[in-house]
Chain A
């Protein structure tokens, strides 16, 4: 398929190929083992979770509907979905505008501004929760899904702007010049001419941010207080009791919560890998 596969040499000797194949399969099994173990856990009875034995005597598929109802996964899915989709969409719109300005409009101080923005790539959100919380309070955004969404947007903007900027730099300036001569407004140039070209970059950013925001925990823990607006990681964590924990239900809920991402990944494997790669390599 790829010429450069030869870079590392497509092994020609059948024995080498066979042993490499075997190695790959063994490694895949090792990597999958923890996932399989959790799957098995999710099908056990409460007593089986305490005793040795890899697999349940008879799989308790009922754990899944039980976990769904008991953990209120429906509401959690809705909250995670709304917050993730809205934050990703907002980040993309804002970051595209910014990247456009940084590459195609240029103004004094734009480079300094971009450098400051990049600081956001290295700052861990957990370091900022308390001041963020107090700010949210005075903005009336504490315990609102809008507040958490805006926080996700803020933490997603640096990497998103970086990716879009990398893409816009590669677009010849002549295209924009020509459009401007035709009397196109800047807005129109960005959304009618560049955006359709940037589909790949948009996919990249979507995937990166979806992954980050869907799984985020610490900001959600501090900025949301009403369990009606909890996200999935928060809601599942809330089931850990001080006195006892139903491991089989937590396992089932964790699997349900991961399904959307698994599904998206399997459907868009190529996009997904390119998304992660481009996002990272432009950093």
Chain B
């Protein structure tokens, strides 16, 4: 008798627990979703949250991190379920176009018109689709190669100015039992960046990528083929550490660099410099150089938007959410971004006492080429094709053909 009642009571208690503690609260909570739970982004976010909450009593910003690999699944589920977060990071790659076309994002041009700094035109173009702006680009990145200054000095090496230099460096390192560039393509995207880096040199116009993506140029173009062949050549020359396909872009491959086994690491943007510093922890000095082209070619990094944020269509708290985005981008927000080596997506004065690393970032940014393919199938084909190239035994021609095939779908 009592046993049954006890069991029933326990079950009832469990149900009450399950029903969720969504107790009514007079205060407002804004959910803020991002995948950047490491490095200095956390500090930038926290600084903005602290200032925003102090200025807006009763409003709380609740941060939720989801690993990059699961982020789109989670965001997609929330959007499909009609319960999107108030503010959410959106991906810079092909996922962005799908999100825009899903009709789940709020148009942003009217929001960005008041109280925001003047976002630079190239950044604005990046988030503009079908004549409307769909996200706030917060900061920019350029991707370069990090190198271990101590190892370079010990080996008598200098940053390369051409791909041939780079191959010579790799050969010297290999002879001394060290790896060249650590690069991880298990999560695929960094392989794409190795290709974009070459495209900056093989496409002299700088327009080919956008044109091909819009269907106005052929993916079999010699510039695309050559970019793939250049990576294949570098792989063959042992410029990259072996096992790229087994390593996450910023996990295992970064570990190779941090542990001193690889003398270089790619891709490094300002977004990860804090993360690298944390891991290196002063064990050696490191600096950056752009991925080199052919001898005599001006160094041209690839880059784009680092973090961009969207609001849900018809979100109940979009005004408050916009206010938070303004906190991220106001004068104080700008100062915090600069303090942690981030490049705001609007023109800023670089302080005289900024670190050489930061000046390097800003200088590189001016010349950066796009690293985005919007068409999902083509982007997927590029990332697969790069894994094949890093596995050896594939070529630029094969890669270009698969891009063209994917574009036809």
Question: Could you list which residues of chain A lie within 8 angstroms of chain B, going by C-beta atoms?
Answer: 46-47, 49-51, 82-83, 85-86, 89-90, 130, 133-134, 136-137, 142-146, 149, 191, 221-223, 225-227, 229, 237-245
Contacts and interface: CB of A to CB of B under 8 A. Distances in A.
25 contacts: A47-B259, A130-B80, A134-B81, A137-B83, A142-B77, A144-B20, A145-B17, A146-B15, A149-B18, A221-B70, A222-B73, A225-B78, A225-B81, A229-B20, A237-B67, A238-B65, A238-B67, A241-B37, A242-B37, A242-B67, A242-B68, A243-B36, A243-B271, A244-B254, A244-B275
B38 A242 contact: yes
Interface in B260-277: 271-272, 275
B286 interface: no
Given A226-B64, A243-B250, A144 B14 contact: no
Contacts of A89: 10-11, 14
Given A82-B18, A221-B74, A242-B68, A142 B83 contact: yes
B221 to A, nearest CB: 32
A137 B79 CA distance: 10
Given A82-B14, A149-B18, A50 B67 contact: no
B279 interface: yes
Contacts of A244: 38-39, 250-251, 254, 275, 278-279
B175 interface: no
B4 interface: yes
Contact of A222 (B67, B77, B259): B77
Given A133-B77, A221-B73, A86 B15 contact: yes
Interface of B: 4, 10-11, 14-15, 17-20, 35-39, 64-70, 73-74, 77-78, 80-83, 249-251, 254-255, 258-259, 271-272, 275, 278-279, 281
Contacts of A49: 255
A50 B259 contact: yes
Given A47-B259, A227-B65, A238-B66, 17 more contacts: A86-B17, A130-B80, A133-B77, A144-B18, A144-B20, A145-B20, A146-B18, A221-B70, A222-B74, A222-B77, A225-B78, A237-B67, A238-B65, A241-B250, A242-B67, A242-B249, A243-B250
B159 to A, nearest CB: 24
Contacts, number: 106
A46 B182 CA distance: 19
Contacts of A243: 36, 38-39, 250, 254, 271-272, 275
A89 B83 CA distance: 30
Contacts of A130: 80
B64 A242 contact: no
B77 A225 contact: yes
Contacts of A85: 14
Nearest to B258: A50
B14 A86 contact: yes
Contacts of A145: 17-18, 20
B80 A133 contact: yes
B55 to A, nearest CB: 25
B80 A134 contact: yes
Name the 7 nearest CB pairs between A and B, nearest first. A241-B38, A242-B68, A137-B81, A86-B14, A243-B250, A243-B38, A142-B81
A227 B64 contact: yes
A150 to B, nearest CB: 9
Given A133-B77, A191-B4, A225-B83, A242 B19 contact: no
Contact of B18 (A83, A136, A143, A242): A83
A116 B329 CA distance: 57
A137 B251 contact: no
B38 A133 contact: no
B62 to A, nearest CB: 9
Contacts of B258: 50
A125 B170 CA distance: 48
Contacts of B17: 82, 86, 145
Contacts of A143: 78, 81, 83
Contacts of B80: 130, 133-134, 137
